[in-house]
């Protein structure tokens, strides 16, 4: 097991276009790192450079302290999980897991030890002597994981592994991968374009755009303290609302009335131009009649006409149209194109309680939690109100959780012994929110 | 439901009546054809016969089906040895996966058949070399296979030699050029899969004793590196060696089964530097020539063999008549007087075990053998008669190609 450090990695394909442009990223030993971004952002290219499938144009790829730029894939001892999930009908489940070791002529007792440990972790113990024909879909996938485990690779790599599975199996496998990674405490890099997958699986998420890192942080930090418009728009579903705003004193004038900023944020925004964008997540709204008195003064209240409501049983969304100047709509259109998302229309998506009686086509009163809004520079996309310290704290918390979970797993003897995680891991190896 | 298929679409039209709305696994067995020696597969794969032709159907996620359909189409156009794709069926009810339809590669043999017969005429070495030729060819074309295995390769006899065809392209990726890392990774995957498939045969007691799965698997990278180097290396030699060195290299590449595209020779005072660009397509010169003259579609080595016989026959005709005989006339006469009688001599119950052109090749071999024994040329007719009586019945019945079985019933 090993850390993976990337220093100023550049990849130019034949046409000279930098598919990956000056990426520096440290992945700690035992960490689960997600590479995410829209199609063409370079996430697969980056993963392939880790594996050794693409030559690195410049920069250093360091795995376990060793520069691997010039090593063949095999010499890097990494495991692309699910690359081979064929099941061989005449071999037992045991042998289906063991064969990579057989091929490398590992002694029998060592094979037995590793397969037994892997099958414990994967809960395949009862099936070891059976033929694979009758395994369920999930069990088959676990056999494939078992193969990866017994190799004792430095790290696991996944490239959109679930994209071709049906929805049910995908959900199962997502849980399975997360659980396994925790138990083994093995360094993992996972590529996906699905932000939901990114937010639920990783310790940290690296958001890429056009070959460059935008932000590396825990899911919560990305969600609460995005560095820019791109990250803010990419993370979260339904996405963050962006409204035009102008600053007057300590308040933002928006299509949904004035929003008061606290002193820190007002100061950060002051003098940053006439026209601003205020970003408000759907969850920061509520039906004003359902907000308790204690909370009410922490936000602002406005009236608006609801275009459509969407009731999902346990939640409800209201769509509120608003006016925006041309400059803003152009900017937002470009952003939604880049994010492969549906065309952003100038209407806010607002989450309201499932019990709310707000109706379509009527005016209603909404409450908006002004503590949590962010203000962006529409030109550069920069988040002017990002609280870096608060963000770092969120990522630090995630790191501590991870270390604790790995230790728990080790204490209960669930890890695979070849995969020892050095004692001091986690301390200092993480730079929360490091970009 | 939607069907996408490539012209000529007549094959496709014949299939439209099948129950595409049902899961492939639940299709009425009466519609299906058993192919006992097929490879291991993760997807549901079934075979059907329509109007005398056999097709393979694979149920697979739509993006993968589209991907495989597009790639197989490209491969065929470029003359890469792969199965030929007919089309896909998508938008099936109830959110079912797509179905990819390929034309059954007639007279193909799976590794399970080839390996599990100790008396097989093909050695393990031959099999591995054939696989490596296919992999090198794909790599030269910038194709990363991602799933090179024995299950995903079909073997066909070509005048006694073996030829390998790709059957499963769902993981394949096309690049302008492959990096060294990509080639080696692909090879590493192949090594592991071949090893596992042989271990599996061993576990099923289907592998002859003398074959060691690990040794065979480990031989793949060695064979590959050797061939890759032979095909791609640049040579430097003295100016006076130039002529024979170039000829030697081109001959060697042909022997290895590669056609040469462009040859680049840079000369300087120190000598000459030779770089040879290999065509990615399988050689097809003889195949095309034979087709032009006779309309027969056969494989390359078979075509070479048949053309040789055709030329001998033409010389005989010219000698007999004392006048030149045109190529076209010779082709037609050979087909009617020599080739067809041999094929017609195959009794119906033995038809389909070997491709007709392969039978013809074997008859020529047999004729040589009989003539040696007799001390005189016994002639093709007598050789054919003896061959179908003594040699052909020994070819295993399970080799019978599905279309012949389908047309019998
Ligand atoms: N072999 C190649 N030659 C030239 N350009 C390439 C090659 N592979 C990828 N690219 C380009 O590099 C960029 C990054 O591609 P990459 O596949 O890494 O993106 P991605 O984020 O994984 O996208 P996706 O989610 O669509 O797979 C894209 O612009 C792509 O077109
Ligand atoms: N066109 C064809 N001609 C002859 N045999 C075929 C053809 N298509 C498929 N087969 C047989 O069916 C088997 C399974 O097909 P295929 O490899 O496409 O399935 P798969 O489920 O994608 O396999 P894998 O598990 O390797 O991904 C092959 O190994 C081969 O023996
Ligand atoms: Mg296959
Ligand atoms: Mg396949």
- Cα separation, A313 vs B250, in Å, equals 73
Question: Which is nearest to B157 in space by CA: B212, B107, B100?
Answer: B107
What is the pLDDT at residue A195?
Answer: 86
Say which ligand is closest to the CA of B86. 2
Q: What is the dihedral of CA B35, B40, B46, B52, to 10 degrees?
A: -40
Sheet holding A18-27, edge to edge: A18-27, A4-12, A58-63, A66-67
The stretches in chain A having pLDDT less than 70 are: 83-84, 342-345, 412-435
Q: Is B108 in the pocket of ligand 2 (CB under 6 A)?
A: yes
Domain boundary pick from B103, B124, B141: B103
Same domain, B386 and B296: yes
For A167, which residue in chain B has the nearest alpha carbon? B95
Alpha-carbon distance A285 to A352, whole Å?
7
Average pLDDT score over chain B: 91
Share of chain B above pLDDT 90, in %: 71
From chain A, pick out residues whose CB is under 8 angstroms from the CB of B188.
73-74
DSSP reduced 3-state for A350:
strand
What is the count of residue pairs from A and B with beta carbons less than 8 Å apart? 83
Give, in order, the Cα–Cα distances in Å from A311 to each of A349, A353, A357, A404: 13, 10, 11, 39
- The answer to whether the Cβ–Cβ distance between B204 and A73 falls below 8 Å is no
Strand partners, A190: A34, A158
Indicate if B242 and B226 belong to the same structural domain: no
Residue B330: DSSP 8-state: H
Q: Can you give the pLDDT at residue A405? A: 80
Longest dimension (CA), chain A: 76
- For residue A131, what are its two tokens? 């033929």
Outline where B79-179 has alpha helix (H). 111-115, 124-140
pLDDT at A387: 94
Among A407, A328, A316, residue whose Cα is nearest residue A353: A316
B222 and B239 share one domain? no
How many independent structural domains does chain B possess? Answer: 4
Residue nearest to atom 3 of ligand 2 (CA): B104
Chain-chain contact of A83 with B191 (C-beta, under 8 angstroms)? no
Sequence-distant (6+) residues with CB within 8 A of B225 are: none
How far is B235 from B246, CA to CA, in rounded Å?
Answer: 9
What's residue A419's pLDDT?
A: 41
The reply to whether B192 and B265 lie within a common domain is no
B63: chain A residues, CB-CB within 8 Å: 163-164
B256 and B303 assigned to the same domain: no
Strands (E) across A107-178 are located at 156-159
Q: Give B-chain residues touching A72 at CB under 8 angstroms.
A: 180-181, 184
In this structure, the answer to whether residues B133 and B39 fall within a common structural domain is no
pLDDT tens track for B371-406: 999 999 999 999 999 999 999 999 988 889 999 998
- CB-based contact (8 Å) between A365 and chain B? no
What confidence tens digit (pLDDT) does each residue in B60-84 have? 999 999 999 999 999 999 999 999 9
Ligand 2 atom 8: the closest Cα is on which residue?
B56
Q: Do A95 and B199 touch (CB under 8 A)?
A: yes
Closest CB to A74 among B188, B197, B217? B188
Q: Indicate the angle between helix axes A108-122 and A93-103, nearest 10 degrees.
A: 130
Residue A423: per-residue pLDDT: 37
Among candidate residues A83, A80, A88, A149, the one with its CA nearest the CA of residue A115: A149
- What pLDDT is attached to residue B363? 97
B223, B246: one domain: no
Tell me the C-alpha distance between A247 and A171, whole Å.
44
Residues 6+ apart with CB under 8 A from B281: B78, B79, B80, B259
Higher-pLDDT residue of A433 and B198 is: B198
Q: Whose CA is nearest to atom 22 of ligand 1?
A: A44
The full set of domain ranges for chain A reads 4-223, 238-382
pLDDT in tens, B18-39: 999 999 999 999 999 988 888 8
Proportion of chain B above pLDDT 70, given as a percent = 97
List the structure tokens of B6.
Answer: 């490539």
Closest atom of ligand 2 to B55 CA is 1
Query: CA B265 to CA B277: how far, in whole Å?
Result: 11
**B314 neighbors B112 (Cβ within 8 angstroms):** no
Residue B112 and residue B219 in one domain: yes
Residue B102, ligand 2, Cβ within 6 A: yes
Reported pTM: 0.88
Q: What are the angstrom distances between the C-alpha of B252 and each of A300, B80, B135, B237, B255? A: 83, 20, 18, 17, 5
What's the burial of B407, exposed, middle or buried (CB within 10 Å: 0-12/13-18/19+)? middle
B287 HSE (CA, 13 A, CB side): 12
Tell me what pLDDT residue B120 has. Answer: 56
CATH superfamily name and code, A4-223: P-loop containing nucleotide triphosphate hydrolases (3.40.50.300)
The CATH number covering residue B113 comes to: 1.10.510.10
In whole angstroms, what separates CA A189 from the centre of its chain?
Answer: 11
Q: Residue A208, SS3?
A: strand
Could you tell me if A107 lies within 8 Å of chain B, comparing CB atoms?
A: no
DSSP track, B362-375: HHHHHHHHHHHHHT
Of the residues B195, B213, B230, the one at which a domain ends: B230
Please identify, among B81, B103, B125, the residue that sits at the C-terminal boundary of a domain: B103
What pLDDT score was predicted for residue A156?
94
Confidence of residue B7 (pLDDT cuts 50, 70, 90): low
User: Which bound ligand lies closest to the C-alpha atom of B38?
Assistant: 2
Domain membership of residue B244 as a residue range: 235-278
- Ligand 1 — pocket residues by CB below 6 A? A 13-15, 19, 37, 39-45, 193; B 175-176
Distance B279 CA to ligand 2 centre (A): 27
- Domain harbouring B18, CATH code: 3.30.200
Q: Say if A102 is an interface residue toward chain B (CB within 8 Å).
A: yes
Residues A292, A296, A298, A300, CA torsion sign: positive
Instruction: State residue A418's pLDDT score.
Output: 46
Chain B nearest CA to A189, separation (Å): 18
Q: How far is A89 from chain B (nearest CA, A)?
A: 7
For B199, which of A55, A85, A91 is closest by C-beta distance? A91
| Cα B194 to averaged position of ligand 3 atoms, centre (Å) | 12
- Specify the 3-state DSSP secondary structure of B115: helix
Is B180 in contact with A163 (Cβ distance < 8 A)?
A: no
DSSP A390-430: HHHHHHHHHHHHHHHHHHHHHHTT-S-TTSPPPTTTTTTT-
Rounded CA-CA distance A258/B194 in Å is 69
Q: What is the pLDDT of residues B263-281, one digit of tens each?
A: 888 888 878 888 888 888 8
Angle in degrees, 0-180, between the axes of helices B380-390 and B356-374, rounded to the nearest 10: 110
**Which mutation among A9, A10, A12, A13 tests ligand 1's pocket best, with the greatest number of atoms within 8 A of CB?**
A13
- Grade residue B121 by pLDDT with cuts at 50, 70 and 90: low
pLDDT of residue A430: 36
Which residues in chain B touch residue A73, judged by CB atoms under 8 angstroms apart?
181, 184-185, 188
Q: What is the pLDDT of residues B146-177, one digit of tens each?
A: 999 999 999 999 998 899 999 999 999 999 99
Mutate to test the interface with B, among A86, A89, A108, A164 (most CBs of B within 10 A): A86
Hey, are the CB atoms on B189 and A84 less than 8 Å from each other? Answer: yes
Residue B309 has pLDDT above 80, yes or no: yes
Using the CB atoms, write b or e for A124-142: b if 16+ within 10 Å.
beebbeebbeebeeebbbb
């Amino acid at each position: 097991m090993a850390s993976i450090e990337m220093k100023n990695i550049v990849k130019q394909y034949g046409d000279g276009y930098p598919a990956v442009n000056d990426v520096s990223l440290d992945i700690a030993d035992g960490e689960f790192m997600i590479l995410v971004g829209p199609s063409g952002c370079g996430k697969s290219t980056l993963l392939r450079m880790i594996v050794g499938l693409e030559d690195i144009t410049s920069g250093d790829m360091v795995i376990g302290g060793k520069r691997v730029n010039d090593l063949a894939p095999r010499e890097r001892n990494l495991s692309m999980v699910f690359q081979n999930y064929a099941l061989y009908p005449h071999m037992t489940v045991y042998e289906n897991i063991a064969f990579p070791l057989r091929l490398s002529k590992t002694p029998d007792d060592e094979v037995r030890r590793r397969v037994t440990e892997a099958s414990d972790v994967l809960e395949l113990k009862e099936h070891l002597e059976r033929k694979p024909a009758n395994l369920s879909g999930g069990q088959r996938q676990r056999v494939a994981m078992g193969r990866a485990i017994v190799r004792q690779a430095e790290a696991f790599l996944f490239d959109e592994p679930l994209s071709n599975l049906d929805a049910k199996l995908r959900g199962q496998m997502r849980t399975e991968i997360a659980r396994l990674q925790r138990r083994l405490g093995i360094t993992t890099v996972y590529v996906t374009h699905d932000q939901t997958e990114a937010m639920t699986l990783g310790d940290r998420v690296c958001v890429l755009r056009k070959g460059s890192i935008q932000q590396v942080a825990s899911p919560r930090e990305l969600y609460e303290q995005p560095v820019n418009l791109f990250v803010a728009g990419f993370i979260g579903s339904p996405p963050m609302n962006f409204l035009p705003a102008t600053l007057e004193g300590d308040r933002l004038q928006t299509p949904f009335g004035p929003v008061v900023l606290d002193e820190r944020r007002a100061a950060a925004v002051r003098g940053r131009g006439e026209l601003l964008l205020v970003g408000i997540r759907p969850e920061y709204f509520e039906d004003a009649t359902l907000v308790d008195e204690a909370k009410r003064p922490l936000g602002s209240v406005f009236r608006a006409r609801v275009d459509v409501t969407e009731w999902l049983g346990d939640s409800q969304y209201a769509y509120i149209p608003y006016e925006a100047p041309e400059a803003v709509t152009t900017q937002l259109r470009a952003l939604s194109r880049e994010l492969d998302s549906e065309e952003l229309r100038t209407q806010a998506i607002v989450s309201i309680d499932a019990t709310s009686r707000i109706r379509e086509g009527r005016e209603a009163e909404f409450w908006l939690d002004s503590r949590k809004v962010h203000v962006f520079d529409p030109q550069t996309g920069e988040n002017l109100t990002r609280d870096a310290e608060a963000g770092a704290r969120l990522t630090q918390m995630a790191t501590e959780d991870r270390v604790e979970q790995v230790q728990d797993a080790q204490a209960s003897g669930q890890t695979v012994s070849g995969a020892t995680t050095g004692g001091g891991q986690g301390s200092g190896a993480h730079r929360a929110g490091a970009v | 439901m939607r069907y996408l298929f490539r012209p000529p679409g007549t094959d496709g039209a014949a299939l439209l009546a099948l129950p595409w709305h049902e899961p492939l696994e639940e299709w009425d067995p009466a519609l299906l054809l058993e192919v006992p020696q097929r490879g291991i597969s993760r997807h549901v794969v079934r075979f059907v016969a329509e109007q005398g032709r056999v097709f393979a159907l694979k149920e697979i996620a739509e993006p993968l089906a589209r991907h495989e359909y597009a790639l197989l189409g490209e491969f065929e156009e470029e003359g890469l040895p792969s199965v030929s794709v007919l089309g896909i069926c998508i938008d099936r009810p109830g959110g079912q996966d797509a179905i990819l339809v390929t034309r059954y590669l007639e007279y193909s043999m799976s590794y399970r058949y080839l390996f599990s017969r100790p008396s097989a005429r093909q050695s393990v070495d031959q099999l591995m070399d054939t696989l490596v030729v296919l992999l090198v060819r794909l790599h030269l074309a910038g194709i990363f296979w991602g799933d090179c295995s024995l299950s995903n390769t079909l073997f066909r006899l070509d005048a006694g030699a073996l030829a390998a065809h790709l059957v499963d392209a769902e993981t394949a990726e096309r690049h302008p050029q492959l990096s060294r890392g990509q080639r080696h990774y692909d090879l590493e995957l192949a090594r592991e899969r071949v090893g596992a498939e042989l271990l599996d045969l061993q576990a099923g007691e289907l592998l002859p004793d003398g074959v060691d799965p690990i040794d065979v698997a480990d031989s793949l990278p060695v064979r590959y590196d050797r061939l890759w180097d032979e095909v791609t290396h640049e040579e430097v030699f003295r100016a006076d060696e130039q002529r024979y060195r170039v000829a030697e290299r081109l001959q060697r590449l042909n022997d290895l089964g590669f056609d040469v595209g462009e040859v680049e020779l840079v000369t300087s005072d120190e000598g000459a530097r030779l770089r040879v660009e290999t065509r990615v397509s399988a050689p097809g010169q003889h195949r095309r020539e034979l087709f032009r003259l006779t309309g027969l579609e056969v494989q390359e080595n078979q075509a070479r063999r048949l053309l040789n016989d055709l030329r001998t026959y033409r010389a005989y005709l010219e000698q007999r008549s004392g006048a030149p005989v045109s190529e076209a006339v010779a082709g037609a006469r050979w087909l009617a007087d020599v080739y067809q009688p041999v094929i017609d001599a195959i009794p119906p119950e033995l038809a389909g075990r070997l491709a007709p052109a392969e039978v013809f090749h074997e008859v020529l071999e047999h004729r040589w053998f009989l003539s040696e024994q007799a001390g005189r040329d016994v002639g093709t007719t007598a050789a054919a008669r003896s061959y179908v009586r003594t040699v052909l019945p020994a070819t295993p019945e399970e080799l019978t190609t599905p279309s012949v079985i389908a047309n019998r019933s």
